[in-house]
A = this chain, B = another copy of it.
């Protein structure tokens, strides 16, 4: 079958057993005689998929009944607008931590809708660290963070302590580590990094925030209102059925593996292996502040653009794919999400060793 190790930042690797199950039943889901992509979203067999996906996610993340769990479309980028549109109705002030490229995009989008303040930024230092000692306005409607920065490879190891609702884009680390959902007002995440094929976005939002209609700006499109999907169990209009189905399969598998705690241990081990090797190497260098290192996205450089290009080319020839770093950082980036097996990281390190020797 010749599957490769795919280190792409998203869309990215999916568990092979999930793909195999989807493949087996692609023409006949659960004995319906239809593909899961053909079933009406209001038919029982598909509504059961949405319900199972929601209940498994609630169980995996220990999400209480105080929160809605929504499956929406448009990716995190769409939530960059949805967040202020749903939360700035009463008070148009919001604070943002600008810790990366997407954090900055979220900040820029919010400026369309309100008085937006930078609570902390590492932009001037090319986002090589997570801003600390935040300046949060006490009357802000919310504080927005990007919990893991996909491009730059940093993450909030600890989340900011604040009295205003905390809103987090967790696209590139959702389900990778245990978090206390109760500390957040809203969590959102595009699925295409750590969950499922692109097309579905998860929104976990405190009911008290969503149910208060005064929080919503009058110009908010119906489809971007969280309350729209909350009222209809994510079935206000036709949802991205296949991506929700795949999410359900991934959630099932994660439960079998032992849940978030179990995968967190594996993720920590994978990241440690890779960072330890980089730190001990003479050729490769990590690009970010050590204490802020992401365990999902690991950028590294050789210091020579020519050598970086050679590395990427030869790695690809060895079945280690999509290692090219984002143009804003250059070099390489290994995204090692939940679906990347330990063997993939080991194969990468073996190749890195060999390449270092050959190019010493």
Q: Is the CB of A242 within 8 A of B197?
A: yes
User: Within the complex, which residue of B35, B77, B85 is in contact with A236, where a contact is CB–CB below 8 Å?
Assistant: B77
Q: Name A171's closest neighbour in chain B (CB-CB).
A: B238
Chain B residues contacting A14 (CB-CB under 8 Å) are 35, 37-38
Tell me if A9 counts as interface (CB < 8 A to partner B): yes
Type the 1/0 row for A26-46, where 1 means its CB is closer than 8 Å to any CB of B: 111001111101111101000
Assess whether A11 is interfacial by the CB under 8 Å rule: yes
- Can you name the residue of chain B whose Cβ is closest to the Cβ of A35? B19
Which of A176-184, A216-224, A291-299 lies at the interface? A216-224
Q: Name the interface residues of A70-88: CB closer than 8 Å to any CB of B.
A: 73-78, 80-82, 85
Instruction: Give the distance to chain B from A58, nearest Cβ to Cβ, in Å.
Output: 23
What residues of B have a CB within 8 angstroms of the CB of A11 in the complex?
A: 37-41, 238, 241
Q: What chain B residues lie within 8 Å of A75 (beta carbons)? A: 73, 223, 237-238
Do B80 and A40 touch across chains, with their CB atoms under 8 A apart? no
Shortest A151–chain B CB gap in Å is 12
Does A243 make an interface contact (CB < 8 A)?
yes
CB distance from A21 to the nearest CB of B (A): 10
In the assembled complex, the Cα of A73 lies from the Cα of B221 at a distance in Å of 14
B238→A192 contact, CB < 8 A? yes
Closest beta carbon of chain B to A278's beta carbon, Å: 22
Count of interface residues, chain A, beta-carbon cutoff 8 Å: 68
Asked if B322 and A43 make an inter-chain contact with CB atoms under 8 angstroms apart, the answer reads: yes
> Contact partner of A8 among B39, B197, B198, B242, CB < 8 A?
B39
Binary B-proximity of A17-28 (CB < 8 A = 1, otherwise 0): 001101100111
Q: Contact at B27–A238, with CB atoms within 8 Å?
A: no
A308 to chain B, nearest CB (A): 17
The contact string, 1 if C-beta is below 8 Å from chain B, for chain A 72-107, is 011111101110010000000000000000000000
A85: chain B residues within 8 A (beta carbon): 221
- Contacts A3-B33, A85-B221, A113-B219 given; indicate if A197 touches B26 (C-beta within 8 A): no
Interface residue? A54 (CB, 8 A): no
Cβ-defined contact, B242 with A199, below 8 A: yes
User: Is residue A240 within 8 Å, beta carbon to beta carbon, of the partner chain?
Assistant: yes
Check if A321 sits within 8 Å of B197, measured CB to CB: no
Q: Which of B9, B242, B322 contacts A243 (CB 8 A)?
A: B242
Q: Are A218 and B112 in contact (CB under 8 A)?
A: yes
Which residues of A line the B interface, CB within 8 A? 1-4, 6, 8-14, 16, 19-20, 22-23, 26-28, 31-35, 37-41, 43, 73-78, 80-82, 85, 109, 112-113, 190, 192, 197-200, 218-219, 221-224, 236-243, 246, 319, 321-322
Q: A74-B223, A242-B243 are in contact. List 16 more A-B contacts (CB 8 A).
A: A3-B34, A6-B39, A10-B238, A11-B37, A23-B26, A26-B26, A73-B74, A74-B74, A77-B237, A80-B221, A80-B223, A85-B221, A190-B238, A192-B241, A198-B241, A199-B200
